[in-house]
């Protein structure tokens, strides 16, 4: 077998986590929106900032809220030369655990200074409040040395208790196809459908697999498949949904190519939805050659060939 | 309680980057074959399968379901998964065997850390309200911990470098290690900081890899290997998620887990999962591991740190010391979360 370099592509994942706050964290972020820092006193007498929801010893809900200062002392720190996306500053900065005046615990946040040489444990820092605060830990943009000049945020009307906070989260991932999937995708780019046979059970998979789910070994021998097959089972989509590209009703079906042992999901178009049947013969409709990519989207849909239907016994094992 | 032993262990090479998918299939297929054929077993002989991995690391949903293809799960198998290191999957498998429902279990962990930015991905395991939105990365959190110990006099940068030197020297005889080779302490201390006060040698490398362990109960273990590594105690415990409320220079949850697992009496080898040099110093001190205990002879996480497989590797390496007759009593430790937040301890012994 020729050496195949796996196909690989970057993917950006993003999701806005929307979280209910509960009484304790609601007090904390509502305080932040009002440019104040609220902690909670626990049964050990310590004031926790940010507040814990439950007492670390008695496990009772903590409700003894205490307003602490927005300035305090660095307990420990570290330095970041190359900030990562999403961090509080986009230039080199320090992370620190800051013990705010009135608190007994460290609050993890960024400290904006020009050089690590400026940082020391025990230094005094103060919060730099965001210009617009929304009830989020990032209402504090970062901390500054206590005596540093900073922009004073404009006053903002008091905020009512906040129940929900939203945090957008992003990740960048470089996804690789398996060797087997790479051969399949390369063939699709050339307008061909290529599956592979499991060396143990001899079943033909399209797409081919890094491991046959029956035998746990990679599929190997390539099998060129025709772009014709049958509908094994199908459903008529009547429900509109976000991002739908075809007007309902239309048919989503499992298509079993001639010579394959695994069906894949595709669309059946160019005929009324009510005419689609189990066992119906169908063929691929390809996009124009110049639009071919590494993917099954090169086939826009399948359409009936008009040949006689396949008998139930010929596909009953594939349902 | 049923007697349960580690009878088989295999691992993939610990490499900076694999070309495979993030589902782990390519790394798992060969090590499943290795561990099963080594024991003369086939997949049908395994009563329970349990894995540890993370969809965040894989950058996709249900990656552990795709990984199951590597087993060949037809006809259907008895299977479970933890979103944690494979060491916690081993704990679940040990409990499963205790129920009497099964006599054998295969446990695996896998992770392709190179697909994303590991130190940033690990920020997402932090408290989602007050920490994760700031993206404090794993080196930053470890750096805060390291400085606390240095400035309180609990350890020094030199002692940290000594841990790295020993790890790299030990890794020279570990064919799967990613970072090995002798360097002296002064040479390491001359290097720049990556997250002051951490230098590169203080931090585990980014590693892709997978590992697998087979557990067996009682007679079944005796049938499979000459000298099973009997689990005499296994326990896990966790510290607060509030980083600023913890004393980060100690690891109370490791101490609790060790006590519950039977303590360190008679332990000759301890495989500790410490992705940062100072964390080994914390555990050695807190557990009272003296000069008579051989620490992490595999080289440990500093020599190669496949996420979600690394803790399971510590158990496998500690078991191997017993299988080979090198030791009669060993301790394995696994960690998860930031700054040694969650810890598992497994004590094993050989019986002659």
Residue A121 is nearest to which of B117, B124, B151, comparing CB atoms?
Answer: B151
Q: Collapsing DSSP states into helix, strand and coil, what is residue A180?
A: helix
Closest of B334, B273, B309 to residue B64, by C-alpha: B309
User: Strands A37-41 and A65-68, how do they pair?
Assistant: antiparallel
Task: Determine whether the interchain pair A106/B245 forms a contact, defined as Cβ–Cβ distance below 8 Å.
Answer: yes
Whether B46 and B157 share a structural domain: no
Closest approach of chain A CAs to the CA of B293, in angstroms? Answer: 32
User: Average pLDDT in the B58-85 region?
Assistant: 94
Q: What would the pLDDT profile of A74-127 be if each residue is shown by its tens digit?
A: 999 999 999 999 999 999 999 999 999 999 999 999 999 999 999 999 999 999
Task: Determine whether the interchain pair A176/B129 forms a contact, defined as Cβ–Cβ distance below 8 Å.
Answer: no
Closest of B119, B315, B296, B83 to residue B204, by C-alpha: B119
Q: What are the residues whose beta carbons fall under 8 Å from the beta carbon of A230, sequence distance 6 or more?
A: A255, A256, A258, A279, A280, A281, A282, A309, A310, A314, A315
List B198's β-bridge partners, or say none.
Answer: B195
| Mutation target among B55, B126, B144 for the A interface, most CBs of A within 10 A | B144
> Which residues from chain A sit within 8 angstroms of residue B153, using beta carbons?
none
How many angstroms separate the CA atoms of A25 and A2, rounded? 58
Query: Residue A3 — very low, low, confident or very high, per pLDDT cuts 50/70/90?
Result: low
Query: Residue A1 — very low, low, confident or very high, per pLDDT cuts 50/70/90?
Result: very low
Q: What is the mean pLDDT of chain A?
A: 95
Whether B95 and B165 share a structural domain: no
Whether B173 and B67 share a structural domain: no
Whether B74 and B147 share a structural domain: no
Whether B103 and B147 share a structural domain: no
B334 close to B315: Cβ distance less than 8 angstroms: yes
Whether B195 and B214 share a structural domain: no
How many angstroms separate the CA atoms of B145 and B341, rounded? 12
Query: Residue A38 — very low, low, confident or very high, per pLDDT cuts 50/70/90?
Result: very high
Closest of A248, A258, A297, A250 to residue A279, by C-alpha: A258
Whether B23 and B38 share a structural domain: yes
Q: Does ipTM surpass 0.90 in this model?
A: yes
User: Average pLDDT in the A232-239 region?
Assistant: 96
Could you tell me the residue range of the domain that residue B37 belongs to? 4-117+206-229
Task: Determine whether the interchain pair A210/B19 forms a contact, defined as Cβ–Cβ distance below 8 Å.
Answer: no
> Which residues from chain B sit within 8 angstroms of residue A37, using beta carbons?
none
Handedness of CA A185, B23, B10, B206 (dihedral sign): positive
DSSP string covering B145-191: HHHHHHHTTS--HHHHHHHHHHHHHHHTT-TT-SS-----HHHHHTS
A46 touches chain B (CB under 8 A): yes
Domain count, chain B: 2
Whether B174 and B27 share a structural domain: no
Q: What would the pLDDT profile of A269-286 be if each residue is shown by its tens digit?
A: 999 999 999 999 999 999
A80 touches chain B (CB under 8 A): yes
Q: What would the pLDDT profile of B172-192 be if each residue is shown by its tens digit?
A: 999 999 999 978 999 999 999
Whether B75 and B27 share a structural domain: yes
Q: Collapsing DSSP states into helix, strand and coil, what is residue A280?
A: coil
User: Average pLDDT in the A20-42 region?
Assistant: 96
User: Average pLDDT in the B137-157 region?
Assistant: 98
Whether B33 and B52 share a structural domain: yes
pLDDT > 90 fraction of chain A, expressed in percent and rounded: 89
> Which residues from chain B sit within 8 angstroms of residue A138, using beta carbons?
133-134
Whether B101 and B143 share a structural domain: no
Whether B160 and B44 share a structural domain: no
> Which residues from chain A sit within 8 angstroms of residue B128, using beta carbons?
17, 19, 167
Q: Collapsing DSSP states into helix, strand and coil, what is residue A181?
A: helix
Q: What would the pLDDT profile of A158-215 be if each residue is shown by its tens digit?
A: 889 999 999 999 999 999 999 999 999 999 999 999 999 999 999 999 999 889 989 9
Residue of A nearest to B149 (CA): A76
CATH number at residue B95: 3.40.47.10
Tokens 């961090």 found at = A87
How many angstroms separate the CA atoms of B103 and B81, rounded? 18
Task: Determine whether the interchain pair B133/A137 forms a contact, defined as Cβ–Cβ distance below 8 Å.
Answer: yes
């Amino acid at each position: 077998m020729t050496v195949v370099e796996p196909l690989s592509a970057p993917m950006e994942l993003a999701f806005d986590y929307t979280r209910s706050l509960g009484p304790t964290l609601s007090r904390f972020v509502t305080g932040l929106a009002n440019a104040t820092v609220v902690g909670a006193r626990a049964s050990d007498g310590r004031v926790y900032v940010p507040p814990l929801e439950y007492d670390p010893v008695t496990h009772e809900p903590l409700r003894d809220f205490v307003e602490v200062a927005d300035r305090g002392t660095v307990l420990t720190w570290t330095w970041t030369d190359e900030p990562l996306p999403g961090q509080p500053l986009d230039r080199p900065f320090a992370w620190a655990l800051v013990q705010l005046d009135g608190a007994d615990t460290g609050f993890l946040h960024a400290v904006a200074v020009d050089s690590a040489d400026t940082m020391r444990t025990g230094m005094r820092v103060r919060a730099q409040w965001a210009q617009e605060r929304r009830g989020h830990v990032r209402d504090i943009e970062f901390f500054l040395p206590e005596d540093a000049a900073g922009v004073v945020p404009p006053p903002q009307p008091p905020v009512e208790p906040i129940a929900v906070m939203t945090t957008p989260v992003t990740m960048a991932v470089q996804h690789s196809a398996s060797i087997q999937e790479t051969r399949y995708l390369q063939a699709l780019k050339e307008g061909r459908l290529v599956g592979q046979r499991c060396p143990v059970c001899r079943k033909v998979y399209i797409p081919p697999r890094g491991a046959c789910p029956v035998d746990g070994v990679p599929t190997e021998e390539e099998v060129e498949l025709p772009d014709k097959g049958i509908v094994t089972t199908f459903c008529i989509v009547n429900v509109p949904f976000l991002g739908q590209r075809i007007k309902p009703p239309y048919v989503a079906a499992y298509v079993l190519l001639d010579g394959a042992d695994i069906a894949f999901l595709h669309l059946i178009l160019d005929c009324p939805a009510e005419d689609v049947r189990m066992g119906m013969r169908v063929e691929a409709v390809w996009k124009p050659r110049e639009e071919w990519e590494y993917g099954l989207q090169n086939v826009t849909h399948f359409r009936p060939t008009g040949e006689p239907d396949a008998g139930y016994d010929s596909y009953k094992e594939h349902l | 309680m049923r007697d349960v032993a580690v009878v088989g262990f295999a691992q993939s090479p610990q490499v900076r980057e694999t070309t495979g998918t993030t589902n782990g299939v390519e790394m798992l297929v060969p090590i499943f074959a290795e561990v099963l054929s080594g024991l003369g077993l086939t997949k049908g002989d395994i009563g329970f399968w349990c894995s540890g991995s993370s969809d965040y690391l894989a950058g996709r949903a249900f990656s552990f379901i795709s990984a199951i293809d590597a087993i060949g799960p037809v006809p259907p198998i008895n299977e479970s998964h933890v979103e944690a290191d494979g060491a916690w999957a081993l704990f679940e498998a040990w409990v499963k065997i205790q129920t009497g429902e099964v006599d054998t279990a295969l446990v695996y962990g896998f992770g392709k850390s190179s697909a994303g930015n590991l130190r940033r991905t690990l920020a997402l395991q932090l408290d989602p309200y007050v920490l994760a939105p700031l993206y404090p990365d794993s080196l930053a959190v470890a750096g805060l911990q390291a400085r606390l110990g240095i400035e309180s006099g609990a350890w020094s940068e030199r002692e940290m470098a000594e841990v790295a030197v020993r790890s790299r020297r030990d890794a020279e005889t570990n064919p799967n290690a990613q970072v090995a080779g002798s360097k002296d302490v002064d040479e390491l201390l001359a290097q720049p900081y990556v997250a002051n006060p951490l230098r590169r040698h203080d931090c585990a490398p980014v590693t892709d890899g997978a590992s697998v362990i087979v557990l067996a109960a009682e007679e079944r273990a005796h049938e499979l290997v000459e000298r099973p590594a009997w689990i005499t105690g296994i326990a896990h415990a966790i510290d607060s998620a509030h980083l600023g409320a913890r004393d980060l220079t100690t690891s109370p949850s490791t101490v609790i887990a060790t006590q519950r697992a039977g303590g360190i009496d008679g332990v000759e080898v301890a495989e500790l999962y410490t992705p940062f040099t100072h964390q080994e110093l914390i555990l050695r001190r807190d557990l009272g591991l003296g000069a008579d205990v051989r620490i992490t002879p595999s080289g440990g996480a500093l020599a190669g740190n496949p996420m979600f497989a690394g803790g399971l590797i510590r158990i496998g390496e500690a078991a191997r010391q017993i299988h080979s007759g090198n030791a009669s009593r060993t301790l394995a430790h696994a960690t998860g979360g930031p700054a040694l937040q969650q810890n598992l301890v497994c004590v094993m012994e050989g019986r002659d």
